[in-house]
Amino acid sequence: MKEGWEIKKLGQVLKVQNGYAFNSKLFSFETGTPLIRIRDIKNGIRTETKFNGPYDKKYEVKAGDFLIGMDGEFGCHEWKGDIALLNQRVCRLQEFSNKLHPRFLFYGINKYLKAIEDVTAYATVKHISSKQIEAIEIPLPPIPEQQRIVSILDEAFAAIAKAKANAEQNLKNAKELFESYLQEVFENGDWERKTIEVVCDEIFAGGDAPKNNYSLEPKENHNIPIYANAVKNRGLYGYTDFARVTKPCVTIAARGSGTGHTEFRNESFLPIVRLIVCIPDRKQISTEFLKYTIDNLVIQRSGSAIPQLTVPMIKDYLIPVPPVAEQKEIIEKAENLRAETQKLEALYQKKIADLEELKKSILQKAFSGALTGREVEV
């Protein structure tokens, strides 16, 4: 620690105010005073819930107040919204000593909260108490040095936030480039349109998961993958010894958070829990082109509340069906574009990750007394 700095417990330089257990019978989504619950802290601007009843003004939260969620993830966030109420299991840092600049603490406290979170045992959700927060020890330089550090961090973090927003927008644009190409191809192509049922040899849904004859890892007698409705790990559920599908196909997640997600599968496998399987008639349509057409249908209905898909629904969808040779050309162009957009996505994802690491590095320097001011260049 740098000479001239001292160590103080938070309880010596501020007060931690716990939230109040407001009567849930008076909660409303329509009218009342905004009520800050743990789920609202990261957003920092608006709340999902309002309170319609009398309250003590000491629980009013104003823009610029620093709040900590006391369950789940322990993090300090600045409230930037209108006046709201401090609900239970949310605490506020207040009554700062003249030895502590509030924003100096704001920039430094999350490191210590994360350390507490990492060692906190839990059954379902982790909890932190106001006493634990008050017991956190932080390094305190003289106030002029705190002000200098805060000024540098404000400038550096604003520059990082701007750079990150640009990178995130570029990442979004890269992802949309491929999708917009597909939409343009399918919307502008003057091709015959057929139902998916007409261009497929088979369309069916997976059955129940095997109860005994399977393993989570591939084995000599269990080497056929089992796929379910999921996005993660391509929906892999486990392995068994028999396959229901032995031809190239497209699968569609029929329920759950990944409803509409498609996978091209060129292996024998067992589909389960209503995973929809489309085996194309390859004289009419290639498996790859079928996937792209179904993906385009999903893109067009994104945001709609379809709780689940069924085989009859899939059979009835109309899709464009160009000649097989033209399908091949479209696929080649699409795959080349996908490769380029994936390179761009990787580039922007790395940029975003690097910016997060830069924030950590700057904070480390700030609270070890090594901040120079040149860090604002992003």
Which segment of 2-6, 155-159, 325-329 scores lowest on mean pLDDT? 2-6
CA distance 364 to 369: 9
Mean of pLDDT values over 67-92: 98
- Tokens standing for residue 199: 């261009």
| Nearest to 318, CA basis, from 199, 222, 207, 196 | 196
Mean pLDDT of 248-265: 93
Cβ(88)–Cβ(49) under 8 Å? no
Closest of 226, 266, 221 to residue 246, by C-alpha: 266
Bigger pLDDT: 239 vs 301: 239
Q: What is the mean pLDDT of residues 199-205?
A: 98
**What confidence tier does 298 reach under pLDDT thresholds 50, 70, 90?**
low
| Whole-number Å distance between alpha carbons of 238 and 223 | 9
Could you give phi then psi for residue 9, rounded to 5 degrees?
A: -80, 145
pLDDT, tens digit (0-9, with 9 covering 90-100), for 160-180: 999 999 999 999 999 899 888
In the predicted structure, residue 86 carries a pLDDT above the cut 90: yes
User: What domains sit in the chain, N to C, each tagged with a CATH number?
Assistant: 6-140 (3.90.220.20), 192-207+242-321 (3.90.220.20)
**Closest by alpha carbon to 314, among 163, 204, 150?**
204
Question: What confidence tens digit (pLDDT) does each residue in 335-361 have?
Answer: 999 999 999 999 999 999 999 999 999
Residue type, 363: L
Residue 303 pLDDT:
46
pTM of the model: 0.75
**Residue 216 reports pLDDT greater than 70:** yes
